[in-house]
Chain A
Amino acid sequence: MWQIVLYVVLAALAAVYIYPFLVQVATSFKTNDGAAVDPVSLIPSPFTWAAYEQLFLRSDFPTWFANSAIVTVLVTIGRVFFNSLAGYALARLRFRGRGIVFAALVAVMAVPTVVLLIPKFLVINQLGMYDSYAGMVLPLLVDAAGVFIMKNFFESIPASVEEQARIDGAGTFRIFWSVVLPMARPALITIVILSFQGSWNELSHFVISTQSPELTTLTKGVASLASGQLSQGSQYPIKLAAAAIMTIPVAVVFFIFQRRIMNASEGAVKE
C-alpha cells in the first residue's frame, strides 16, 4: 500500500518534470494556430516542418549554432588544459607562494558572476577585444572550480607513480603530460562535461562582449527570438523549435555521461 503511494507520487512528479519538454518538441511541429488552440496536446495536427525550415533556411540560426559550437570547443579545450596544469601544480609541485595562489583562487570563486558583467565589459573593451572571438573565449578559458576538481583528483594519485618517471629522467611537464594526465581521465571527463554545459548555456558573458550579428551565439540569438525578433506575433513553434535544437547537444552529452553525472559523488555504492 505504502509502496503504491510512493510510486504514484513519483510518477506524478516525473510527469511534471518531463511533460514540459514533450510539449516543447510537439509544439515545434505545430502551426501557430495549432499551438494556440491545443497547447497541451502531444500530437501536432496538422503536422508541419515549417518552424524548422524557417530556422535553418530563412534565419541566422545556423550562424548562431556555429558560433556556439566554436566557442564551446575552444573553451572546453582551454579549460581541460589550463585547469589540469594548475591543478597539478597546486596538488604536487612545491613552490614558494603556492599557499597564496590557492587562497587567491578560493577568493575568486566567491565573486558572484553577475556582479562581473560591467567589470568584464570594461576590460574587454579596454583591451580592444570587444566584439571578437578573443573577447568571447579568453575570459572563459579557465575557471577556479575546475582547478579545484583537478587538484583534488591529482592528490588522490599515489606519488610513487611520478617518482618512478622522475628517476627515469622525465621532466616535470613530461611527467604531467604522459604519466599523470592519462591517469586523470575521470576528472578530465568531469571538466569536459562541466565546461561544455557551462559555455554552451552561457548568456550574460556574450551579451556584454559582443554586438554584431555574425558573433551571436545560440543563447543570445534565441533570447532575441523570445523577445519577438524575426517573427510577427507570438510564433511559439519557431521559438520552441529553436529552444529544442539548442537543448539537443547538452541532452546528448547528458545521456552519454549520465552515470558519471548522476553518480558523481556516490562512489562505490551498488545499485
Chain B
Amino acid sequence: MTAVSTPSRRAGSSGLRRGEAAAGWIFTLPVLIILGVFLLIPVLMALWVSFSDWNGRGSPFAGDVGFVGGENYAAITTGGGLAERDFGIALRNNAWYVLLVVPLQTALSLFLAVLVNRAVLRGRGFFRTAFYFPSVTSTVAITVLWLFLFSTSGAINQVLSWIGINGPNWFNEPSGVVHNLLGVFGVTSGPEALTQGTFLGVSWWDWLAGPSVAMSAFVLMAVFTTSGTFMLLFIAALQNLSGDVDEAAMVDGANGWQRFWRVTLPQLKPTLFTVLTLGLIGCWQVFDQIYTGTQGGPGKTTLTPAYLSYNSAFISQEWGQGAAIAFVLFVIIVVFTILQRFLLRDRPVSRRRARQYEVRPAARKGTAR
C-alpha cells in the first residue's frame, strides 16, 4: 500500500495509469468547451464590437461593419454629448453606492458574526438563520418587496410617521442626500468653483450630491441582503482562531475592546480582505435591482454602468458604446481589486504584534473557551 499511495511518481503511460492523460483531457473538455464558447470567445467578440460601428443587425463580423478605433470609448469619456454625461452620472451613482455599501456591509456582518459567535448564546442557530435568510432569496423578489416597503404609503414611511417624520416618496425622489443635508443648513447651491468645473459631463457640485434618496433605498437593500453571507465568512474565520492569543492578551490586561481591535481584528485580515473584495466586485455590478426596480430613474439617479451598458446595447442599439462601457467597468473592478490588495497587504508591524502574543500561551491549550 505504501508504494501506491504516491501516485504522482507514476505519471504517463506506465502500467496501471495508462490512458490517464487522455482521460484527463476528456474529463475537463466539457468545462473547457462551455467556458471557452460562452466566456472567452464572447469577451473577444465584445472587444471587437467595442471598436466597431455594429448596429445590432446581422453578424458583427459582416463586411459592412466598420472598425472605428477608439470612437466608442471617446464618446463615453470625452464626447461632450449625452453618452458622456450618462456615463458620468452612472459612475457617480455607483461610486456613492460602493462608498456606502462596502463599509456598511462589512462592519455589520462582522458585528453580527461577533454577536452570534458567543459560545454561551442561546438560540444562535435561530439568529444566524434570520440574518442569513435574505441572502438566499433572489434579488428580484427582494426588490419587489423593497418597492413596496419604501413606497409612499409603505411600511417604512408608516413607521417613520409614528415618530413624526414625513417620509419621502423614496423611489421617486432624485435629490441627493448630501445636497439635502446641506440644504438643511441653507446651502442650496454650490460655490462657483464646483458648479463651473465638470468631469465626464457632470459638474463637481453634482458629483458631490451624494446618492439620491432612491439610491439610498438600494444601499439599504444591499446591506440587508449581503450582510448574512459575509457574516458566515466571518463566523468561520472566528471559529478558526485559537483562543490562546486572546487569552494571553487578557492575561496582559487588555479589555474586551482592545482585544477585539488589536488581537482579533488583525487575525481576521484575510477574511476582511475577501469580504471587502467580494463586496467591491459585487457593488460595481449592480444590475438586477435596477432592471427590476427603477430602470435608472428617477432623473437617472439610479443609473449604474452595468445597467447603462445593457441599456445602450439592447435598448438604444448603441452596441459599440455598450461594449465599451462594459470594458471600462471591467477595468474599474480590476483596478480596485488590485488597489485593495495593495492597501491591505500584510504590514510587518501587525505581524510582529501578533507574534508577541503568539509566543507565550502555548502551555495553556485546552482551557481556552
CB neighbours (8 Å) of A126 from chain B are 45, 59
Count how many chain A residues have C-beta atoms less than 8 Å from C-beta atoms of the other chain: 105
> B20 CB to closest chain A CB, in angstroms?
5
Do the beta carbons of B1 and A160 come within 8 Å of each other? yes
| Complex interface bits, B1-45 against A, C-beta within 8 A gives 1, otherwise 0 | 100110110011000110111111101101110110111111101
Do the beta carbons of A89 and B129 come within 8 Å of each other? no
Q: Is the interface of A mostly helix, strand, loop or mixed?
A: helix
B263 close to chain A: CB less than 8 A: no
Do the beta carbons of B5 and A265 come within 8 Å of each other? no
Among B73-81, B130-138, B172-180, the one that faces the other chain is B130-138
Do the beta carbons of B37 and A123 come within 8 Å of each other? yes
Q: Is the interface of B mostly helix, strand, loop or mixed?
A: helix
Q: Which residues 1-51 in A have Cβ within 8 Å of B in the complex?
A: 3, 6, 9-10, 13-14, 17-18, 20-21, 23-24, 27, 35-40
Do the beta carbons of A163 and B145 come within 8 Å of each other? no
Given contacts A82-B34, A83-B31, A243-B144, whether A116 and B39 have CB atoms under 8 Å apart is: yes
B310 close to chain A: CB less than 8 A: yes
B330 close to chain A: CB less than 8 A: yes
Contact pick for B130, options A18, A105, A118, A244, CB 8 Å? A18
B182 close to chain A: CB less than 8 A: no
CB neighbours (8 Å) of A104 from chain B are 32, 35
Do the beta carbons of B327 and A115 come within 8 Å of each other? yes
A207 close to chain B: CB less than 8 A: yes
Residue of A nearest to B61 (CB): A126
Given contacts A89-B23, A94-B7, A204-B288, whether A20 and B32 have CB atoms under 8 Å apart is: no
A190 close to chain B: CB less than 8 A: no
Among B149-157, B209-217, B349-357, the one that faces the other chain is B149-157
Do the beta carbons of A243 and B140 come within 8 Å of each other? yes
B125 close to chain A: CB less than 8 A: yes
- 23 A-B Cβ contacts within 8 A? A14-B126, A23-B148, A89-B27, A93-B23, A95-B22, A115-B306, A115-B309, A117-B309, A118-B313, A144-B31, A163-B5, A201-B140, A207-B291, A219-B138, A219-B288, A223-B140, A227-B295, A247-B141, A251-B133, A251-B137, A261-B132, A265-B233, A271-B124
Having A86-B31, A94-B8, one finds 20 other A-B pairs with CB under 8 Å, namely A6-B121, A20-B145, A21-B134, A39-B151, A40-B155, A85-B27, A89-B23, A93-B27, A112-B329, A114-B285, A115-B329, A126-B59, A159-B4, A204-B288, A219-B140, A219-B288, A226-B140, A226-B147, A234-B151, A250-B137
Give the A-binding residues of B (Cβ under 8 A).
1, 4-5, 7-8, 11-12, 16-17, 19-25, 27-28, 30-32, 34-35, 37-43, 45-46, 49, 59-60, 112, 115-116, 118, 120-121, 124-134, 136-145, 147-149, 151, 153-155, 158-159, 224, 228, 232-233, 235-236, 239, 281, 284-285, 287-288, 291-293, 295, 306, 309-310, 313-314, 319, 322-323, 326-327, 329-330, 333-334
